[in-house]
Structure 1
Amino acid sequence: MNNRDSFQSRWGFILACIGSAVGMGNIWMFPTRVSLYGGGSFLIPYILFVILIGFTGVITEMSFGRATRSGPIDAFGIACEKKEHRKLGETFGLIPVFGSLAMAIGYTVVMGWILKYAIGTLTGSTLAYTDVEEYGAAFGSMASAFGNNLWQVAALVLCMLILMLGVGGGIERAGKIMMPLFFLLFVILAVYVAFQPGAIDGYRYIFRIDPKAFSDPTTWIFALGQAFFSLSVAGNGTLIYGSYLSDKENIPESASKVALFDTLAAILAALVIIPAMATTGARLNQGGPGLLFIFLPHLIRTMPGGRLIAIIFFAAVLLAGMTSLINLYEAPIATVQEQFHLSRVPACAVIGIIGTIVSLLIQGIVSDWMDVLSIYICPLGAGLAGIMFFWVCGKTYVEKEVNKGREKTFTSLFFPICKYLYIPICFFVLILGIALGGIG
């Protein structure tokens, strides 16, 4: 496309990528897995896998996007064009684009829940119930078919308004505001929780080392899944953000910052949620939406200053979720622009209409919808992007693109590690997800 939009600054790009990575997995899944799989014994393999995926997958997708200046369909097509199979490449490129749109649609439902609860902290409705059963019944009603139409549409409209402003004026500006504010709010929560009676038991629980956990394959499997999905390698979002990046930017350096801050966000969430649970003597064994919309609101209402804590907490969750939603919708929007030669606003309108209709229809089945995508489509998209970049484009092409913007040549180990380790890991994640019913 001519006059392609772009990020205006390095930190604008980095914050947008951090925003795409920081999401519900950091908040409602990571603390639970730390709790269930040995505390520090889970953190150690998790950090190792974050380093591995950040070093390989994140750099891969950023570099591939920047090299082709396009979304997955054209990027895969350009890769295969050298082998005179452009149409085949474009066909494979549909998979991550479809995955991104479908994931965005499912995430829209979740964002509707979050927006309702965030506004409810201001009106008082979020903390209006007296026991877990009442919170469960309220969430069940909201999460049923057509149970939250207004807030869901409002969340999607807010997302599309940001996207209509473009990459620099919308995505970048939103990231520069939302991500620092997210971290600030969670730091405030972490400090508050630290002064609550019993919080020390939560810290012991987080950082305990259980040698038996290291010998348990599930610790390593779910640490891999947490790192893989948290860093958003799926052949779409990171790739499309990379396509807006200047050749002057140092991608390996940017990728390291994304991995670092995504990990900090996850650890911050654990430092808030697990000690908060410990103040009541509870142990965290419930993850997913139930943690966020049932157990935590019930806990927060019993804490001193509970309403203010709820406002801060759900505002932070809303910021994290919105930056992820923006990233998920960007790949299909860019694809509509590229394939149908539409300008930004009409492309957003087209995707926004599709997102509205389908997200309203799947409200009652969103959990199964997201499970299918995370098990099958995301790791497949990541693996295909890796195959296109390393196996189809080749070593010379890869090393040239990764080293753009660098003063020193990046390690020569990058190519073989990605080609022979990272790509098999993508398909290993796919196989494990099918076998275990999901590891993300």
Structure 2
Amino acid sequence: MTTAPPEGQTTRRGAFSSRRVFILAAIGSAVGLGNIWRFPYVAYENGGGAFLLPYLVALLTAGLPFLFLDYALGHRHRGSAPLAFARQSRPTEFIGWWQVGICFVIAVYYAAVIAYALRYTFFSVDKAWGEEPEGFFFGDFLQVGDPGVTTEVVLGVIVPLALVWAAVLLIMGLGVQRGIGATSVVFIPVLVVAFGFLVVRSLFLPGAADGLDALFSPDWGALADASVWAAAFGQIFFSLSIGFGIMITYASYVGRRTDMTGSGFVVGFANSGFELLAGIGVFAALGFMAQASGGDIDTVVADGIGLAFVAFPAIISEAAGGSLIGVLFFGSLVIAGLTSLVSVLEVVVSAVRDKFELHRLTAVAVVGLPAAVISLALFSTTSGLYVLDIVDYFINRFGILVVAVVSMVVLAWFVRALPGLAAHLNRHGSIRLGTLWIALVAVVAPVALTFVLARDFLATIEEPYEGYPAWMLNTFGWGAAALVLVFAVGASFLRWHSSVSMRPGGPEEPTEPVAPGATAVEPGDHRGEVR
């Protein structure tokens, strides 16, 4: 029996079996830890209910337009980020490698946070943190000392971190459809059900209404503050997984006739819908915590690590049925984190495969094993949390934001690629792109993100981030951001494998049925079913 790949999709690189699987994979990438622990805090700090207006404006004027740009590059040129940029214009290849370097760095530290959540899923069963969640997390669990770098390994971190990497490498090795696609098809519905149940349970906690009132009460005066609008654009950008190669890579695995703009619309609003759901669940729980402690919301609101591993354990300890809430919350973090980590690492694996024509399993080993070793070496120690905090802050702001602005400016004003990319998506897209889209990508989005970037840069220069020693900020902060750019320039000078076509739009791809086991199909890449 023979099986056919998606129309127009090369079997060598792998493919998603359908548009539905692609959408679920894209949602899995976009919905990550930031949706759960960043959006509620950002909304609360920037006008509450009024924040939803600039948030929606940012989604429509920057988030979706940039998402369509990523889709257009990957879908038209049928390649990883570096190959897609190279096929668009050879001098722009370094931008793709810049994104690859950023993804490698993110993968290395992101796995550690998932490991924390995995361990806390089990801690929730018997509320192992006791009466002092903060002391337990920083002391008993992470054994954090003074800022610096140590080689003292924390057994409670290295074991779950190794398990996370084993799971991720297994998923990656199985291929695009059987690994990434299948994982998303299972995990995303499970995530929605689990987190939905958590939200419903939180809504019935005493004080939940006070929490929701604090989140959604609009401060309309905040709309006159430019920083509120900057926060909205920054949140949309970080939460959609755009600008650092993920959506370029995923779009290259989709059939030629797929409606990419309609798919992007679904992904964008699904991501925002989950953020809103997270805001409801988190603030309902924080309202309960405030009432239980006899304080107000301001005294318990936190984001990031503090919300997940300090505030929520405190809520779990006080709430009836807290163990179930804990398992659902931390289990949701694990699932959301894994689907995002897989997408981040796929950017690197896909680029290496394209550049050197490697078998998928070889590429996964070449990329994944060094990433796992570095991750275990840096983030399973007593100084791991400090390094993670610094790298995360700098690579997000001075890596992702910078490369996003550069890519938009270069493609719009130097390569003049936007009309051609719009025409490509319009062939089968249900949402037509024209002059407005070009204006948003060429002017509105880069200007807005440049403002966010400048604001963060000035704040970081004026006051060292979190008061860390200058040598740590220079090494793991500015140094990491600079290193990925140096890597990008160097990688762009390496020769592509002789079989790789630089033809714009990619090579002509087979549409004839391909027999299982044929040389064009690699293990883990084959769909194994007829659409």
The two structures have a TM-score, normalised by structure 1, of: 0.92
**How far, CA to CA, are the matches of 1:134 and 1:48 in structure 2?**
41
Match of 2:443 among 404, 407, 420: 420
| Structure with more of its chain in helix, by fraction | 1
8 A contact 1:105–1:355 mirrored in 2: yes
Gapped runs of 5+ residues in structure 1?
A: 81-85
User: What secondary structure is seen at the aligned counterpart in 1 of 2:303?
Assistant: coil
Match of 2:319 among 286, 293, 303: 303
Shift of 1:408: 6.9
Q: Which residue of 2 aligns with 1:79?
A: 88
Q: Which residue of 2 aligns with 1:369?
A: 391
Q: Which residue of 1 aligns with 2:97?
A: 94
Q: Which residue of 1 aligns with 2:412?
A: 390
**How far, CA to CA, are the matches of 2:357 and 2:306 in structure 1?**
42
Match of 1:335 among 323, 326, 351: 351
Shift of 1:52: 2.1
Shift of 1:300: 1.0
**How far, CA to CA, are the matches of 1:42 and 1:436 in structure 2?**
22
Q: Which residue of 1 aligns with 2:123?
A: 120
User: What secondary structure is seen at the aligned counterpart in 1 of 2:253?
Assistant: coil
Q: Which residue of 1 aligns with 2:270?
A: 261
**How far, CA to CA, are the matches of 1:181 and 1:339 in structure 2?**
36
User: What secondary structure is seen at the aligned counterpart in 2 of 1:141?
Assistant: coil
**How far, CA to CA, are the matches of 2:427 and 2:169 in structure 1?**
32
Instruction: Say if 1:362 and 1:57 are closer, same or farther in 2 by CA, change over 3 A.
Output: same
User: What secondary structure is seen at the aligned counterpart in 1 of 2:319?
Assistant: coil
1:432 aligns with 2:455: yes
Instruction: Say if 1:156 and 1:96 are closer, same or farther in 2 by CA, change over 3 A.
Output: same
Match of 1:351 among 367, 383, 389: 367
Instruction: Say if 1:325 and 1:360 are closer, same or farther in 2 by CA, change over 3 A.
Output: same
Instruction: Say if 1:327 and 1:395 are closer, same or farther in 2 by CA, change over 3 A.
Output: closer
User: What secondary structure is seen at the aligned counterpart in 2 of 1:299?
Assistant: helix
**How far, CA to CA, are the matches of 2:238 and 2:432 in structure 1?**
29
**How far, CA to CA, are the matches of 1:304 and 1:191 in structure 2?**
14
User: What secondary structure is seen at the aligned counterpart in 1 of 2:79?
Assistant: coil
**How far, CA to CA, are the matches of 1:245 and 1:422 in structure 2?**
26
**How far, CA to CA, are the matches of 2:438 and 2:224 in structure 1?**
30
8 A contact 1:108–1:155 mirrored in 2: yes
Q: Which residue of 2 aligns with 1:83?
A: none
Instruction: Say if 1:74 and 1:138 are closer, same or farther in 2 by CA, change over 3 A.
Output: same
Shift of 1:436: 3.0
Gapped runs of 5+ residues in structure 2?
A: 1-9, 291-295, 466-531
Partner letter of residue 11 of structure 1? R
Shift of 1:260: 0.8
User: What secondary structure is seen at the aligned counterpart in 1 of 2:38?
Assistant: helix
Instruction: Say if 1:245 and 1:383 are closer, same or farther in 2 by CA, change over 3 A.
Output: farther
**How far, CA to CA, are the matches of 1:142 and 1:151 in structure 2?**
18
User: What secondary structure is seen at the aligned counterpart in 1 of 2:289?
Assistant: coil
**How far, CA to CA, are the matches of 1:297 and 1:223 in structure 2?**
28
Instruction: Say if 1:325 and 1:121 are closer, same or farther in 2 by CA, change over 3 A.
Output: same
8 A contact 2:419–2:438 mirrored in 1: no
Shift of 1:47: 2.1
- 1:131-171 per-residue CA deviation (whole Å, 9 max, x = no partner) reads 24433423542799533111112111111111111111111
Instruction: Say if 1:250 and 1:313 are closer, same or farther in 2 by CA, change over 3 A.
Output: same
Q: Which residue of 2 aligns with 1:14?
A: 23
- 1:201-224 per-residue CA deviation (whole Å, 9 max, x = no partner) reads 112112101122222222222122
**How far, CA to CA, are the matches of 1:51 and 1:395 in structure 2?**
18
**How far, CA to CA, are the matches of 2:310 and 2:431 in structure 1?**
51
Where does 1:234-273 land on structure 2 (aligned, <5 Å)?
Answer: 234-273=243-282
- 1:353-391 per-residue CA deviation (whole Å, 9 max, x = no partner) reads 111121123322111011111011111222333245434
Shift of 1:2: 6.3
Instruction: Say if 1:393 and 1:72 are closer, same or farther in 2 by CA, change over 3 A.
Output: farther
Q: Which moved more, 1:392-401 or 1:19-28?
A: 392-401
Partner letter of residue 121 of structure 2? A
**How far, CA to CA, are the matches of 2:142 and 2:310 in structure 1?**
10
**How far, CA to CA, are the matches of 2:227 and 2:450 in structure 1?**
17
Q: Which moved more, 1:174-183 or 1:413-422?
A: 413-422
**How far, CA to CA, are the matches of 2:439 and 2:311 in structure 1?**
45
1:290 aligns with 2:306: yes
Partner letter of residue 129 of structure 1? G
User: What secondary structure is seen at the aligned counterpart in 2 of 1:47?
Assistant: helix
Instruction: Say if 1:117 and 1:407 are closer, same or farther in 2 by CA, change over 3 A.
Output: closer
Match of 2:422 among 394, 399, 402: 399
Shift of 1:409: 4.0
**How far, CA to CA, are the matches of 1:27 and 1:142 in structure 2?**
25
Instruction: Say if 1:133 and 1:116 are closer, same or farther in 2 by CA, change over 3 A.
Output: closer
User: What secondary structure is seen at the aligned counterpart in 2 of 1:279?
Assistant: helix
Instruction: Say if 1:247 and 1:54 are closer, same or farther in 2 by CA, change over 3 A.
Output: farther
Q: Which residue of 1 aligns with 2:135?
A: 134
Partner letter of residue 319 of structure 1? I
Q: Which residue of 2 aligns with 1:164?
A: 173
Partner letter of residue 313 of structure 2? P
Identity among equivalent positions (%) equals 27
Q: Which residue of 1 aligns with 2:504?
A: none
Q: Which residue of 1 aligns with 2:74?
A: 65
Instruction: Say if 1:34 and 1:6 are closer, same or farther in 2 by CA, change over 3 A.
Output: same
- Aligned Cα root-mean-square deviation (Å): 2.1
Q: Which residue of 1 aligns with 2:5?
A: none
Q: Which moved more, 1:280-289 or 1:261-270?
A: 280-289
8 A contact 1:333–1:348 mirrored in 2: yes
Shift of 1:324: 0.6
Match of 2:402 among 368, 380, 383: 380
**How far, CA to CA, are the matches of 2:314 and 2:141 in structure 1?**
12
User: What secondary structure is seen at the aligned counterpart in 2 of 1:362?
Assistant: helix
Match of 2:59 among 35, 40, 50: 50
**How far, CA to CA, are the matches of 1:432 and 1:424 in structure 2?**
12
Instruction: Say if 1:396 and 1:41 are closer, same or farther in 2 by CA, change over 3 A.
Output: closer
1:277 aligns with 2:286: yes
Look at both structures and tell me which one has the larger radius of gyration over its CA atoms: 2
